[in-house]
């Protein structure tokens, strides 16, 4: 989606990159909007290709539900008492990002992630390419890294970052959003240098 254009009914931003569901030609697509789109938690969407919508029903139903109603939206609106405020903010979040030239912000965040991949002294698990990562990147930590690395990063440096295991390896996943800048990357680099 280009900045300043009005999104069509199937064109939205997923936060990391523009998302045009029509050109993607997906049968089904769902996503949360709370992280990269900057909407509140609980905001998300489900896209179902029109010819498949009759077979998709909500897991929770309530009064007024008619399972044979052909209208996809109508069937999914009858889910009982709930707070709609989170998903009502999504159009405002899209507009807020458009007004702030969010494509430029995404590029800046990708550059921070790319720098993290190349400057933290850790092994990247993907090539240095937008085809493999955008605003977050996974890096392998050394075998001799402290077992409590995640906790120490937070307790000693106030850095919240995922540290996770896969088989015999451990990884960190730096991610960058619009509120991050180069100073955050430098803090992470200094903290890792002290702990590793």
pLDDT tens-digit profile of 83-93? 889 989 999 99
Report residues of the chain scoring pLDDT below 70.
Answer: 1-17, 67, 69-70
Per-residue model confidence (pLDDT) at position 9? 36
| Amino acid 28: pLDDT | 94
Domain 102-195 in CATH 1.10.4190.10? The answer is no
Residue-level pLDDT at 8? 36
Q: What pLDDT, on a 0 to 100 scale, did the predictor assign at position 48?
A: 94
Q: What pLDDT was estimated at residue 67?
A: 67
Q: Both ends of the chain: CA-CA distance in Å?
A: 41
Q: Where are the domains of the chain?
A: 11-99, 102-195
Residue 52 neighbours by CB distance under 10 Å: 11
pLDDT of the residue at 22: 85
């Amino acid at each position: 989606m280009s900045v300043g254009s009005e999104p069509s009914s199937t064109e939205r931003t997923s936060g990391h990159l523009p998302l045009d569901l029509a050109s993607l030609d997906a049968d089904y697509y769902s996503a949360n909007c709370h992280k990269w789109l900057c909407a509140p938690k609980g905001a998300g969407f489900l896209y179902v290709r029109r010819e498949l919508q009759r077979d998709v029903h909500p897991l929770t139903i309530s009064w007024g539900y008619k399972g044979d109603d052909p209208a996809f939206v109508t069937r999914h609106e009858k889910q009982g008492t709930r707070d709609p405020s989170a998903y009502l903010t999504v159009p405002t979040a899209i507009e807020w990002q458009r007004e702030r030239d969010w494509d430029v912000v995404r590029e800046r965040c990708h550059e921070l992630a790319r720098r993290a991949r190349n400057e933290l002294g850790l092994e990247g698990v993907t090539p240095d390419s937008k085809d493999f990562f955008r605003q977050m990147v996974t890096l392998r930590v050394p075998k001799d890294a402290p077992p409590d690395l995640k906790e120490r990063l937070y307790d000693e440096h106030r850095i919240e970052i995922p540290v996770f295991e896969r088989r015999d390896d451990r990884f960190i996943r730096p991610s960058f959003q619009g509120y991050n800048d180069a100073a955050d990357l430098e803090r992470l680099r200094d903290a890792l240098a002290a702990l590793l």
